[in-house]
Structure 1
Amino acid sequence: PPLSSFPYSGVGVDYLMFSLHLAGLSSVLGSLNFITTIFSSVFFFINTRVSIIVWAYLFTSFLLLFSLPVLAAAIT
């Protein structure tokens, strides 16, 4: 791996990887928050129409939810 050689063996690389995992975790939790908020509001107001921006947020949240754990496993 490129970051395992001697010049990159410091503690800074470990902090970098930890911060990337922490940013991924916060993105996953944020997307879960969006998904539960959208589903609870759509089911609560069942007769209202859902706009295209809500569908875009929902689609993006599902993409983040499924792609970020794979990316986190790849940088480990």
Structure 2
Amino acid sequence: MEELVSKLAAFIATDILKQPKRAIRADEALISSGLIDSFSLMDISLFVEGNFGVRIDDTELNAETFDTLEQLAKLIQSRQ
């Protein structure tokens, strides 16, 4: 789980936020805090599908599924 969170955090910090030194905690709110916007969810979804072989349905692109790295890592683990 830590490895998943680390990879997701690095992608979001570097590619989405354009702040490669930004540390993102596993339990930090991403969407509900306004750190990332809804447009970024598609990029994250494509990253997850391409790197972890997990399919993310369009209906899952929301704060209930993607609000923390921990939530997203659990979703990935449950589908691998």
Common fold by TM > 0.5: no
Q: Which has the larger radius of gyration?
A: 1
- The one of the two structures with greater contact order (alpha-carbon pairs below 8 A, sep at least 6) is 1
Larger helix proportion of the pair: 1
TM-score under structure 1 length normalisation = 0.29
